[in-house]
Amino acid sequence: MGQVKLAAAPARLNAVLGSCVGVALYHPRARIGALGHVVLPRSGGTGGGPAKFAESAIPYMLAQLEQRGASRTALVARIAGGACMFGTGGPLQIGDQNVAAVLAALKASGVRVVAQDTGGTKGRRVSLDCTNGELTVEIVGCPPRIL
């Protein structure tokens, strides 16, 4: 949780998500990707690594990819997660806030979101294939979905 991993083809990057959001950034020509595990929308002045919060994770991921030669304009994003893990409604529904914050940060950074699988009440396992940029999303009791 609260981490970013980078890899190049043929590697796969994996995460298990509940209310957290998995952010997959991929550069098709360079065939490199990053998978961030965003825990909270904002830091609110609290400590934590740069990947923990949507407001800092997206710029951090972009900087890491750009250091490896990825052009920001060629990057595409796929996101998954943001489940309501504590039933529906109420103040503990951080999943919806995480999704909104991630989408806002990606938009502000000029990164195009090409697919998403968010919300619901079940956690997900995601896997980013750095060969082709596909994000496989698995939810218990459902067939895998490829974004």
Q: Active-site positions? A: 20
Task: Report the relative pairing of strands 4-8 and 76-81 from DSSP bridges.
Answer: unpaired
Q: Is the dihedral of CA 120, 125, 126, 129 positive or negative?
A: negative
The sheet carrying 124-129 orders its strands as: 12-17, 124-129, 135-138, 145-146
Length reported for the chain: 147
